[in-house]
Structure formats: structure tokens, C-alpha cells
Structure 1
């Protein structure tokens, strides 16, 4: 049977949680927008249903019709056959979604559903509100007078399309008369329950957060304004759709500093998707070898663990796939991303580094997963509480999503061992070679983004950020590299599991049980820009606790 790829993009946003005067002009409503000629190479012309509701009986909005109209025009440009509907009552919304499902069943290509307007959630169930919302007096009325969001997912799944994209640009307050204080704030996270081969779930802000209805362009909501720009860029540059949402996330965070709107998404994909085909990072890919388990940290011996040995027969997870492992005590571990196996040049490639970055040599790296972000205080504090360890000092800068600091190498090792026990998987610190390979992400430049430091690329002394030389930044405050990793340059220096040596002799490819001098990589908020280069190396005693040192982790391929 043909393998079905179901790919859900669920962008959840407060779209105009402010009242506004309805617009006097009205675009074409309910009329299909037909592209003159698709400009993409789809085997079947993709279909899109775009809905924007703003003329609500209770609490009208400002921008949903603009958002929907602009999205429809962009999708037409990309090559979709678009049906645009605006200001729909409940019966009209139900009919539009039903007819869209029937068209998808006949087409069985790519389907996209976009909605901008009010939304609400009760007990984890999400609802999209029609404009005749005066009938909704309490949460019980939602079931009868609003559109159940999961019904849209089911319609698209039942159509057996090859790709489903769902974007819900919905107000995250509960916008109807008599909304109860006990109701959940914002929309709940959604996911597919089908046997799809991949999914991506994106929120315009974190669960329970709020989003802005206004943006600098004055026409669209904050999230949609950046989504439109990023989607057009992704189409032009063959960018992966999940990377596009990463770009949107960073742009929204940057514009909303005062209100601190932080979009969120989670992906589980079996293959990348780009509107005009994906361009891959050029690396020499090796067959992934079997990796031995990490040794305990208690022995004082200097025996080494080789991270690469013989080859595996089973296929590794798709590079770029994001995941979180479940914890035995409940909840999830850090967000991880699978890194492809490959071969790269390690060390002072550009000739502008230090003597301990020599000799430049080629290293083969096996397939592994790495945490997308430096381990945060929230993640480490959970471990500390579970194991009754003292929580490290945050210097008054804040905990939560800031990188954990003031942890020793032994603390970091203990965290990976606890995580391994909680998940049944093999977690550890990265070898120095794995770290540099992941930080470079297929590049040979001084920094992963180029040969000059630029501005606002990282947090270091002279990097041009608001945190430079003062303190840590919340993780993910800057763009990610091509492997979807954040903050590999600056913010906090990161422990590796390898022993430091003044010249490369092979220890950079191995983990050590213990040593007098351990590798630290990446540079920090305290360092000048030359110390956040991809090749830069530093060393620390394993017992040191410093306000500029933290760590990230790796997970070996499941056996």
C-alpha cells in the first residue's frame, strides 16, 4: 500500500483578543481563488480552505479577514487551489468544512486548512467560534454552537491525503458572554491519533500564554504577520517547513519582548517536507555504528569508552526528527533532535584559532540525538528534586527556561544517568567530536552562520544582544543552526564527556570515566566573540561550579 504521510501543522494564536470596529469593506466571501498556473511541482494540485471570522456578535476582532485574505493569496501563489470564506455562522462553517473534506477525498493530495478568529477550550477540548457567538453563554454551549477543532483533523485524516497542514490562528481567551474563570486559559495542545508517518504541531505561544493581535505592519496579527513572510521565504528557498516554524518562533519572540510571546511546536516526522523539494546539508554519511553504554562515574580510573564501534543493521531514526522521551515518574524529558551520521573536518580549519585546535583532522561521527537546547533550570531542578540534590544557584537571573549554571561535570553526568533510568534509553554528555560536528552542522566557517560574528546571533561579550557580558539568555533566544540546535555559540559553556588534551590525539572521540581536566565547548555570555567559534576549546576541572558553564546531552540510537 502507498505510505501515507500525515503532517499536521497546528499554529495556535490569540488573534485579536481586543475588541475593534468591524471593517467597512468586505473582500470576496466564499469564492474559490483559482491560481492561473501552479508554480510548484505537485503531482496533484493541493487544496486549501481558508476561513477568517471577525464580525462577532460578541467581541468583534480586527485582523482575521486580513489574515485569511493574505494567507489565501499567498497559498494561491504557491500553487494551491484555495477556497476563501469569511465571517461564517456555525452552519456555514460546518458546511464549508464538510465540503472541503469531500474535495480532499477525491483529490488525495495535499490539504491545508487555515482558520483565523476566536477560539476557546474546555477540559482540553478546542473549539473554533462562528460569528453568531451570542448563543454561547457558558462552556456547555460550545459543544452545540461552536466547531470542534478535532473534527477538522478527522475529516482530513479520513480523506487519506498525502499531506495535511492545519493552521489555527485562534484567540486564546474564551471570547463569549459568561466565560468562567475556571476554564483553561488559551487553547489546548492537539495531536493526530492516526497511524501517520509524521506530524508537526505548532503553537503561536506556549500553552496558557497570550498572543498579540497587532504587529508592526498594522494589518495582521503578530504571529500571522511573521508566518506570511516565513512561508513565502520557505517556498522560495526550499526551506523545510519545520525549520520555517523555528524562524517564525524567533521572529515573534523578538518583536514581542515586552509581552514575551514565545511560539512553540513539536515535530515527529519520518521525512522532511519542503514546498519545492528540500535541499539537504552536504555531509558524507556513514552507516551508524553500535554504541556502547556510558560507564559509571564513581571509579577514579582513566579507562575510556569508545563511542563508535561496529555497524548496525537496523535503520536509524530520520535526521531532523524531534522527540521527547517519557519519564517513568510522569512528564517528558528534554526536546531532542536526531543528528545524521557523517564525516567532517575538526579543528582550526580557517587558520584563525588556537594551538590546541590542531591538528585539523577528519572524524567520522555515528548517528545520535542531541538536546536542541542547553539543559534548563526547569529540567535540572526536576532531577534535583527527585534525587534530593541541592539546586544550583541561578544568580538571581531566573530559572525556568534559562540554561542551568553552577553545575559540576559530575552533576551533569548524574543528570544523564537519572534520565537514562527514567526513560530506559542511553543518555550521556557528548564527546568533543560529536559536539563540534553538531555545532558546525555541515559548515566549515568560523561560526555556523559565517565568518563574522554579526549582531544578535548569540549571547557573548560583543555579540550585540541585550544579555552580552551580563548574564545568560533564555534558551532558544537566537536562530538555530541547520541541525536545529540552539545556542551552540555562547550563552553558557557546555561540558563534554571527553578528557582535554593540548593537541588532538583521538581522546576527543571518546568519553572518560573521570579526569583532572575535562573539555568545555561553545563559549559563554562572558566570553569575547573569538571564544564562541565552532572550533574553540576550553578545559575545566570536573569539580568546578561556574556561572557561565552548563551542558547539553546526547542520546544513543535505541538498540
Structure 2
């Protein structure tokens, strides 16, 4: 392998974090054995010391291109959508002190990107531990001065071209430091094992094996840890030369969290795109307070891994089903209906104009029974199990490891979704093409606004006695079914992730649509 690779390994020593010392030393040893020139820094007390270490690392990167690897073990946090690494003696009496006391992660990314444009850059962050030392905030108890914008987890960062960022845990969540009698953190333990056992595996598959190991080890923990990564590599990367001279292209595990797949229909065409949602545990309901009584009490729910539609079911996808079966036409196509856009007298649907029949817009005007029939048809066509998501699955996937009103925060912002007041060009006018806005951290589009989405569950007036395992909550008002997500002409308070409404299962409306869920894995 030679010495063309360079690695920086950093950590610090808070009393409540025993593992990072071992994490850093063990990573340094493994990387040295793999041919890296390692710069190991321990107990960096100040932001200046951390910057100095980063600059030393940069200076050691060859000008002709290299593999630059930055590994950090210890405390990190998120503040106002920026991520920070914390030195041992950081003291932040107020929010004004943050930039002077701690180091932004993008400082590291910028130096790597500028100094190693021709090479491969890898950043591994085993941070965001489940405890944040009160020392950060001085002994004057000033944490409250900026606690509302302070978050223990990292926000998602997009890897620059030619780079990879690996996180110990998913965005906006914390990681487990490790058991008292274990040498390493949960994440680094599995990372070390993968680097020792299979360094000749493509890095994306190597990180998949790390993710599976961490998910399995923390499945019974209060909060399950799901490692995450952002990849913009342009070529395969291996820590060690594969044994085969011409290694076959990697075959990603189609059932790994975040993977997208599409089952084949009987005519050879593709079904809807589905995203694998990781198993986990979350708080369901009105976490931010201020919501309706039917969003309470807030309660913990465990959800098994399953798949969810990447987009709301589109006009093109649904009408293919209608043409094949000759049934379950949307209300605006139904023969003899007053709402038929060609022969009817009511303009309820006509006001949507051409988007109503545009194949890339979400289907509307379908009932809960229609949505269930479509899912059953998909099951028959593919030989796989399709269904409507349960209400717990829907909120879990829509939240995507967040606890704010919307997956991006507590403010609706501008042009992040389609609703009456969302700041998009479709607001209070019509549906938007699916995928017009950014996806949430789980890779799902349009979980805020656009169209209401039918869920499998019958209606319950509140969450008293709700299941804790994510299944359909039977009983309740069987004459009504749940809809979630809001729509293009509802206001921002009604498109919150926790907001819920109900309607008759045979009722069809201009803003009612759905997305499908698929089998558990």
C-alpha cells in the first residue's frame, strides 16, 4: 500500500467518556497496519489546538493526490444547523462563545477538499455521545441561554465530490459510548472489526456491515443507534487491495437502510420506488406541545425495519392499475359521476387543471378502499407484500429521527413543501410534481403537505392505550380511517408531522392520496 495515505486521528479525554482514548489509539494502530501515515492527537484542550492539528494534517497531504482520512472520537453537537467538535476545555457561557470555543466540522471538510482535490477524502465522526458535559456551558448554569437551538446530534452534511462522511449515528440522534467493561464505543468497535477482518471490501459495503452490527447490538436499547453516511465517491475505494485483480462490482444489500428498490410487475415494468426504513424507536405525538388533544399523550414506539414509498403514488402509477383492473377509477374519472372532469357538472376537480392528469403528480380523488385495492394489486403483481403504512410507521418515517414540527425544524420556512403558506409556487393552487422538494433524512419526499396520505389504522381520538410496536391499532372508530401529512391548501400548522385527521374510508376528495409500504425485512 505504501505511505501515500495520510490519516489524522483525534480525541479528547472527558471523565465521562472512557472509550475515546482507546478508540483513537486502536484506530491509529489499525490504520498504520493498513499503510497509512498516522498523526495521532490526544487531549486537545482548545479550538486553537484542534485547528493546529488540522493544519498539520493538511500539510502532510501530498500535492499529487492521496487518501486523506480524518477520524474523530468524542463529543460533538449541532447548533443552528451547524455541526461542532468540542475540545476538552471548551466553555460556552452563551451562544456568542460557540465559534470561539469549538471547531466547525466544515472547517475540516474545507481543508481536505482544498488540499486534496485529486485524491480521496474520508471523514469518520464517532461523536454525538448520549451525554453532553455540563462543563461546556460553564458552572454558571447558562446552558438555557441557547438551549432551544442546541441539539445533541449532528445535522446531515453532504459529502463533497470525491469524499465520504461516515457518522456513528443518524442525523439528529445520539450514539452510545459503549459499555463500562468494553474497550471501545459501539460504533468504533464494529468499525475496527470490519477494518481488521475485511479491509479488501469496498468501503460502502464495509460501512454497511458496520451499520448492521451497530443496529443489532443496540436493538434493545432505549434509543437504537443507526450509523449513517454521505457518499460522493467517484470510484470504488478499498482499504486494502482486493484479492482479485479485477474485483467484481459491489452488489449493495437491497435491504440495507436507505437503499432504494423497485419490484418488477408481471409485464416487466417497475413498481413504485421504495426506500428501506431502518428499525428504531421514537416518540410519537405532539412532542413540541401546542397540538390537538388527539396527538397526545406522547409515547415511545418501536418500529421494525420496513419499506416505504419514496414518493406519493403518482397519477401514472395509479392509472396503470385502473387500466389493468377496470376498477377503482379516481372520482374525477368515474363514469356517470358529477365530478367527472369531462362529463360532470361539478368543478371540484377541474380547478386543478392539467396537473390532475399529469403522470408525475400525486393521484387524488381516491378513497381508503381504493388505496388498499392498489396495494393488494401490487402484491399480486410482484409476489411481495404491499400495504398501507400503519399510522406509527408513517410518523416514524416522516420524522426520520427528528422531533421537530417538520423534519427540517420548527419553522415552515420557504419553499420546503407545498401548503397554504409554505412559500412554493403551488401553494393553495394545486399539487406539486412528486419530488419537487428535498427528501427527509430517510430519503422520503413530500411527507409535509402536497396531498393527505391514507394510513391503514382506524381512528382513535387520542393515544391512550396505543400499541408500542408500530402495528395497526385495531378497534376505535372503524367507520373512519387516518390521514396524515397535510396538503397543498392546508396551512402550516396542519402539515406538522404530528397532525392527524380522519375521514370515511369510502370518501374521495381533491387532496386525498397515499403512499404504500412494503414487507418487513
**Structure 2 partner of 1:342:** 280
Give the Cα separation in 2 of the matches to 1:284 and 1:464: 40
Give secondary structure in 2 for the equivalent of 1:232. coil
Deviation at 1:35, TM superposition (A): 3.3
- Partner Cα separation in structure 1 for residue 371 and residue 362 of structure 2: 13
Give the aligned partner of residue 14 of structure 2: none
Matched, 1:486 2:414: no
CA contact (8 A) 1:336 1:370 kept: yes
What is residue 35 of structure 1 aligned with on the other side? 64
Q: Does structure 1 residue 510 correspond to structure 2 residue 484?
A: no
Match of 1:555 in 2: 518
Q: Is 1:521–2:459 an aligned residue pair?
A: no
Partner secondary structure for residue 345 of structure 1: strand
Q: Which runs of 5+ in 2 are unaligned?
A: 1-61, 72-110, 123-156, 172-203, 222-252, 333-348
Quick check: 1:78–1:235 contact (8 Å CA) kept in 2?
A: no
Once residues 291 and 161 of structure 2 are traced to their aligned partners in structure 1, the CA distance between those partners, rounded to angstroms, is 35
What's 2:192 paired with? Answer: none
SS of corresponding position for 1:524: coil
Secondary structure at the residue paired with 1:497?
A: strand
Q: Among 415, 419, 422, which residue is 1:460 paired with?
A: 419
**Residues 65 and 118 of structure 2 are in contact (CA less than 8 Å); yes or no, is this contact kept in structure 1?**
no
2:361 to 398, 402, 409: 402
Name the counterpart of 1:533. 496
SS at match of 1:518: strand
- 8 Å CA contact 2:63–2:115 kept in 1: the answer is no
1:135 maps to: none
In the alignment, the residues of structure 2 paired with residue 79 and residue 516 of structure 1 have an alpha-carbon distance, to the nearest angstrom, of 61
Q: Deviations over 1:210-249 (max 9, x none)?
A: xxxxxxxxxxxxxxxxxxx965289486589xx9xxxxxx
Instruction: State the alpha-carbon separation in 1 of the partners of residues 405 and 502 from structure 2.
Output: 20
Aligned to 1:442: 401
Q: TM-score, normalised by structure 1?
A: 0.48
CA shift at 1:506, angstroms? 1.9
CA contact (8 A) 2:68 2:112 kept: no
Does the 8 Å CA contact 1:325/1:332 hold for their aligned counterparts? Answer: yes
Q: Is the contact between residue 304 and residue 520 of structure 2 (CA under 8 Å) also seen in structure 1?
A: no
Provide the rounded CA distance (Å) in 1 between the counterparts of 2:413 and 2:513.
Answer: 24
Query: Per-residue CA shift, 1:95-132, capped at 9, x if unaligned?
Result: xxxxxxxxxxxxxx99xxxxxxxxxxxxxxxxxxxxxx
Aligned-partner Cα distance in 2 for 1:486–1:234: 26
The Cα shift of 1:352 comes to 1.9
TM-score (norm 2): 0.51
TM alignment of 1:164-179, pairs within 5 A: none
Q: In structure 1, list runs of 5 or more residues that go unmatched.
A: 1-32, 43-72, 83-108, 111-228, 244-268, 288-314
CA shift, 1:404, in A, is 0.5
Distance (Å, rounded) in 2 between the aligned partners of 1:439 and 1:234: 30
Give, in whole Å, the separation in 2 of the partners of 1:284 and 1:356.
Answer: 31
Q: Hey, what does 1:251 align to over in structure 2?
A: none
1:510 counterpart SS class: coil
Determine whether 1:318 maps to 2:256.
yes
User: Residues 548 and 356 (structure 1 numbering): CA distance in 2 closer, same or farther, change over 3 Å?
Assistant: same
Distance 2:487 2:510 in 1: 10
Deviation for aligned residue 1:515: 2.3
The answer (yes or no) to whether the contact 1:522–1:534 under 8 Å persists in 2 is yes
The answer for the alignment partner of 2:293 in structure 1 is 355
CA-CA distance at 1:329 after TM superposition? 2.3
User: Deviation of residue 389 (structure 1)?
Assistant: 1.8
Q: Establish whether residue 498 from structure 1 lines up as the match of residue 457 from structure 2.
A: yes
| 1:509 Cα deviation from its structure 2 partner | 3.4
**C-alpha separation in 1, matches of 2:289 and 2:270:** 42
Task: Tell whether the 8 Å contact from 1:35 to 1:77 is kept in structure 2 after alignment.
Answer: no
Deviation sequence 1:421-479 (CA, Å, 0-9, x none): 01111110000000000000001111100011111110000000000011100000000
Task: Give 3-state SS (helix, strand or coil) of 1:438's partner.
Answer: helix
Q: Do the aligned partners of 2:419 and 2:489 also contact (CA within 8 Å) in 1?
A: yes
Q: Could you say what secondary structure the match of 1:437 adopts?
A: helix
Q: Summarize deviations over 1:332-386 as a string: whole Å, max 9, x none.
A: 1000011011111100111121110001100111110001100001110111111
Secondary structure at the aligned position of 2:413 is classed as coil
Aligned length: 295
Q: Is the 8 A contact 1:34 1:76 kept in 2?
A: no
In structure 1, how many angstroms separate the alpha carbons of the residues matched to 2:441 and 2:270? 25
